[in-house]
Amino acid sequence: MSDSQRVLVVEDEANIRDLIRTALRFHGFDTCLARTGAEALREARGRRPDLVLLDVMLPDIDGFEVCRRLRAGGDQVPVIFLTARDTPSDTVTGLTLGGDDYVTKPFSIDALVARVRAVLRRTGAAAPPEPDTVLRVADLELDEARWTVRRAGADIELSPTEFKLLAYLMRNAGRVLTRSQILENVWGWDHHGNAQVLETYISYLRRKLDPLGPPLIHTRRGVGYSLRP
């Protein structure tokens, strides 16, 4: 669990609200509270919670409407409904309005916390990942997402094939790659066996990389190539 994920607890009944808050804090969550639908919408905007526990029966607008307005405003925060009305139609309403799960009152507080964790895990996995798309070897940097290459801070222009070849060598930095391995992975099966094209592209890369620093692409005679400092 990353530190202090924030849960917005929307519940008009003070004793249930306090019980949930105490339990969530005990389990390491940060909490914020709302007693009405209007407060919930304000808190969701202002506090940017990681998850909303949303009671359906609220004094002003109901929890389903709160969720609908959140979604209409583009807020995709995971929502777990707290509902005493465990009828199938309510459940369907809640989930089609963009809720992620629901818990029926009366609930065990441990089960509720487990559900919070499960939804955060599930929705966290679905959130857009931010992988480190930058490969680095010595002073060479290749950004696979932005299609940029820099060495010692200088931009290097590469053709798409040169880029794919360099990316493959960098992903396997330090390893000796056979010619057929490289051909298969960069050119695909069509070029299998055509070692000439590989040598040509290796020479293109060296011509662009070597003026900026010590050679990085090394030939292993009779085998293939490796990229290393």
Nearest approach in angstroms of CB 81 to Ca ion is 11
Site string for Ca ion, 8-47 (x = CB under 5 A): ----x-----------------------------------
The span of 6-14, 168-176, 197-205, 215-223 binding Ca ion (CB under 5 A) equals 6-14
- Do the Cβ atoms of 93 and 64 come closer than 8 Å? yes
Nearest approach in angstroms of CB 1 to Ca ion is 28
Dihedral-angle region of residue 44 (phi above 0 means left; psi in -120 to 50 means alpha; beta otherwise): alpha
Query: Taking CB positions, which residue lies at the least distance from Ca ion?
Result: 57
Q: Which two tokens stand for residue 47?
A: 């506090």
Nearest to 133 by CA among 173, 171, 175: 171
Give the integer Cα–Cα distance in Å for 208 and 157.
8
Instruction: CB nearer to Ca ion: give 60 or 199.
Output: 60
Return the amino acid letter for 180.
Answer: S
Nearest approach in angstroms of CB 167 to Ca ion is 55
Site string for Ca ion, 43-82 (x = CB under 5 A): ------------x-x-------------------------
Tell me which DSSP letter residue 46 carries. Answer: H
> Any residues with CB less than 8 A from the CB of 203 and at least 6 apart, and which?
none
Write out the residues near Ca ion by the rule CB under 5 A.
12, 55, 57
